[in-house]
Structure 1
Amino acid sequence: MPVDKELVIVNDASRDGTRHLLDEVERDPRTVLAGARGRTEIRIFHQPVNRGKGAALHRGFAEASGDVVVVQDADLEYDPMELPGLIEPIRQGQAEVVYGSRFLRGRTGFPFWHTLANRLLTAASNLVTGFRLTDMETCYKVIRADVIKELPLREERFGFEPEVTALLAHHSRRAALRIVERPISYRPRSVKEGKKIGLKDAFRALYCIVRYGAFPPRSRKEAVPHRTLAKP
């Protein structure tokens, strides 16, 4: 993207060689910046213990200094080349939040049961929030930084997706908040490739839809444990 960018990389105490790869990136950032347009700053943070996706995102949001925050998983199930189209509605002043939907283009590559679970969870979330989303569980969430930093996030694992959606709904009731969807592609990983989301995560997501939809944390101080923001 021909804009100034900040890559905030959070290593959630991974034991698969991630630390070694990130050390190489710190020594020579050109390994990940080949062909990049616009100024790009890389900032790397290492969590002391593995806490989960949500905790890593809390850290990333706290450290981010840009105007717009994009969530990107490192497994590249989602194509970073599609990010400019997701950021554009915010840059044009047409929205404060953009969700990338894997369902707007039809085929997703999802197994049947994953598709069913996603659609049921999205429908439940819409019922609670009043949104009309097609893909609440999408990783690709693009949010204005001032909005995401105000949300009292607390979920440290995969409950982040329904939690942040519910909290955005509460935020929109206090201040005008426009949320739109844009179509994206998706290349799902298999369990053999490291896919970790399972049935228990679906039940946790359902709990989070109800919990944060009806009883959101009252403040960031109540929501985010100090340990989540520990320095490297």
Structure 2
Amino acid sequence: MATQELGYRVLARSQVPSSVGVSPARPDARPSGALSRRARLIRATFDQVAPSLWERRRAAAYYYEASYRHFARLVEPGQRVLEIGPAYGDLLAALRPKVGLGVELSAGMASQAGRRHPHLRLAVGDAHRLPIGQPFDYIVWHDLVGHLDDVLGALREARRLAHPHTRLVLTHYNLLWTPLLVLAEWAGAKLPTPEQNWLSMEDLRNLLRLAGFRVLRAGTELLVPRRVPGFSAFANTVLVRFPLFRDLALVAWFEAAPVPAPVAPEVAVTVVIPCRNEAGNLEACVRRTPYMGTSTEVIIVDGSSTDGTWEIARRLEADPPAGLSVRAIPQVPEFDYARHTTAGRDPKLGMLNLGKGDAVRKGFAAATGDVLMILDADMTVSPEDLPKFYEPLRDRRADVVNGVRLVYPIEHQAFKPLNFIGNKIFSLVFSWLLGQPVKDTLCGTKALRRLDYERIAANRIRFGDFDPFGDFDLLFGAADLGLRIVDMPIRYQRRVAGTTKVSVWRHGPLLVAMTLVGLRKLKWPRWRRAVARLIQGSR
């Protein structure tokens, strides 16, 4: 096997000709050594099982045969087909492509595929940084979504390889099957894999749109993924078409086509970082903030820190990172830092009584950017993720971009169990209140345009001013104005310094109160109007 230190390797047994468009990695392509810890774990898992995977797959032959038949209905034979994550290459071969290229993360798996299907072209590479230059007619993702580090990034990479008539065909498992799949792994009936991403069909629709695709067709398949004589064929061809059974099927699938890339001008960005006692995080948070748009301004709003955070903020203001402008603003101007600061010591202060929401509003009032962002200083969300929030606003694909921590596997100890459960419950409630899906109401990372924020601020009196977090102030206001809120999955990491400022027992009752406010302000007027129309119509 010939190896090129470019982040990918092409199998000598099935060299890829130049006509396929495989090229040396782009200058920004990360080398294989730059894979995330999770990607390395996935690669090692499949390298280990590659020699014996065929025997394991024989037990699930019915599932794979049904999947291949479904893909064959969507992919026209005799075309240029790219499959990401082809494993043994059986699906790619079954599609009968004119040119078939598979890019596999696992070298062991790609080697096995090369032996089984020597007519196929196989390369080892990362779905997020493909060493390919020319477009394909079909791009196939079979059960790949759950393994990706960055689903949106990989979809954008697929969009790069699409011409106007390309079709992206992908499948993902139904989240309702998670307990059964976990049980199957425990019983040895399914290959154990690292924890997968939690993506609903609505999540995938949203990400496809953000990546520059439109969904042509979508649906579900395989109500019964095992051969049951006299029943499985009936269930998978008839029952699965009915509404209730359709929602219970194992496989969700999409066929999508690229849309023309919008031509949108770059705009100025302001990142507001509210903080209190974050001396161990603040400098890295600011220095890792990327340059975005025509200019990037960082405004640090300090909530009366006593551990030296304010001094770090002032130092960054005087000597900002290259390309950024930095301003430091005290949330309480009259606070005596000289008297209260003990550098290097965190007395574990909670949230200032004024709340984080007040700090955000003061930061936004001082901002000069056209796009306004909130980034918590605790580093649980990587600053490098901020461009994901900027691009949908620039391209007019969203009005408010809301961070979501509940899609990708969460680092150990990043979420306390009670916080996680509470967040899930409130997200369901607030999605209903807002009339659009919002999967994570309390993620601190959000972004919107300045003009829309000014409209929300002008309408703030309608909901009151008691939200200490600032999240519901923005979400309620955006929903009331009919703005489109778009979820953006991000990876949530545990703190490495400092302590959380949110208390379940102190702030939980406030969340209940805000739920009631949303019910009264958003739902009750609609119900009242509906009842009035009903009464009028009966007269």
TM-score range, shorter chain: 0.7 to 0.9
**3-state DSSP of counterpart to 2:448:** strand
Task: Decide which of 502, 507, 521 is 1:201's aligned counterpart.
Answer: 507
Task: Decide which of 330, 333, 338 is 1:46's aligned counterpart.
Answer: 330
What's the offset of the Cα at 1:187?
Answer: 1.3
Structure of higher RCO (CA pairs closer than 8 Å, 6+ residues apart): 1
Task: Decide which of 452, 466, 471 is 1:155's aligned counterpart.
Answer: 466
Task: Decide which of 291, 311, 314 is 1:23's aligned counterpart.
Answer: 314
Letter in 2 for 1:157: P
The alpha-carbon distance between structure 1 residues 6 and 27, as it changes in their structure 2 partners (threshold 3 A), is closer
Letter in 2 for 1:96: D
- The separation in 1 between residues aligned to 2:474 and 2:302, in whole angstroms, is 21
Q: Deviations over 1:5-63 (max 9, x none)?
A: 1111111121221121122223322xxx1xx4xx4221221122552211101101111
- The separation in 1 between residues aligned to 2:467 and 2:439, in whole angstroms, is 24
Letter in 2 for 1:47: Q
CA contact (8 A) 2:431 2:438 kept: yes
**3-state DSSP of counterpart to 1:56:** helix
The alpha-carbon distance between structure 1 residues 90 and 2, as it changes in their structure 2 partners (threshold 3 A), is closer
Computed over aligned residues only, the root mean square deviation of the Cα atoms, in angstroms, reads 2.1
Q: Does 1:139 align with 2:450?
A: no
**3-state DSSP of counterpart to 2:392:** helix
**3-state DSSP of counterpart to 1:98:** strand
Q: State the TM-score, normalized to the length of structure 1.
A: 0.79
Q: Does 1:183 align with 2:493?
A: no
CA contact (8 A) 1:69 1:144 kept: yes
- The separation in 2 between residues aligned to 1:125 and 1:141, in whole angstroms, is 16
**3-state DSSP of counterpart to 1:182:** strand
The alpha-carbon distance between structure 1 residues 107 and 156, as it changes in their structure 2 partners (threshold 3 A), is closer
- The separation in 2 between residues aligned to 1:11 and 1:156, in whole angstroms, is 18
1:113-124, aligned counterparts within 5 Å? 113-124=418-429
What's the offset of the Cα at 1:183?
Answer: 1.2
1:98 aligns with 401
Unmatched 5+ stretches in structure 2: 1-290, 336-351, 523-539
Q: Deviations over 1:93-135 (max 9, x none)?
A: 1111111211122446423221110011111111211121111
Task: Decide which of 368, 371, 374 is 1:71's aligned counterpart.
Answer: 374
**3-state DSSP of counterpart to 2:360:** helix
- The separation in 2 between residues aligned to 1:198 and 1:14, in whole angstroms, is 18
- The separation in 2 between residues aligned to 1:170 and 1:15, in whole angstroms, is 38
Q: State the TM-score, normalized to the length of structure 2.
A: 0.36
What's the offset of the Cα at 1:75?
Answer: 1.4
Task: Decide which of 305, 322, 327 is 1:14's aligned counterpart.
Answer: 305
- The separation in 2 between residues aligned to 1:131 and 1:115, in whole angstroms, is 21
Q: Deviations over 1:206-225 (max 9, x none)?
A: 21132145348xxxxxxxxx
CA contact (8 A) 1:62 1:149 kept: no
- The separation in 2 between residues aligned to 1:98 and 1:214, in whole angstroms, is 25
- The separation in 2 between residues aligned to 1:59 and 1:213, in whole angstroms, is 28
- The separation in 1 between residues aligned to 2:386 and 2:435, in whole angstroms, is 26
CA contact (8 A) 1:166 1:213 kept: no
The alpha-carbon distance between structure 1 residues 214 and 188, as it changes in their structure 2 partners (threshold 3 A), is farther
Letter in 2 for 1:75: D
Provide runs of 4+ in structure 1 moved above 4 Å.
none
- The separation in 2 between residues aligned to 1:114 and 1:156, in whole angstroms, is 18
Count how many residue pairs are aligned between Structure 1 and Structure 2: 203
The alpha-carbon distance between structure 1 residues 188 and 205, as it changes in their structure 2 partners (threshold 3 A), is farther
* Structure label with greater radius of gyration: 2
CA contact (8 A) 2:405 2:491 kept: yes
**3-state DSSP of counterpart to 1:16:** coil
Q: Deviations over 1:165-220 (max 9, x none)?
A: 11211011xxxx22211210111338x9311212221221121132145348xxxx
Q: Does 1:210 align with 2:516?
A: yes
* Amino-acid identity (%): 27
CA contact (8 A) 1:125 1:136 kept: yes
**3-state DSSP of counterpart to 1:150:** helix
Q: Deviations over 1:52-89 (max 9, x none)?
A: 21110110111111111110111111101011112111
The alpha-carbon distance between structure 1 residues 167 and 214, as it changes in their structure 2 partners (threshold 3 A), is farther
Letter in 1 for 2:456: L
CA contact (8 A) 1:77 1:187 kept: yes
CA contact (8 A) 2:379 2:495 kept: no
**3-state DSSP of counterpart to 2:486:** strand
Letter in 1 for 2:310: R
Q: Does 1:80 align with 2:415?
A: no
Unmatched 5+ stretches in structure 1: 217-232
- The separation in 1 between residues aligned to 2:514 and 2:467, in whole angstroms, is 12
CA contact (8 A) 2:438 2:487 kept: yes
Task: Decide which of 363, 372, 379 is 1:60's aligned counterpart.
Answer: 363
What's the offset of the Cα at 1:2?
Answer: 4.6
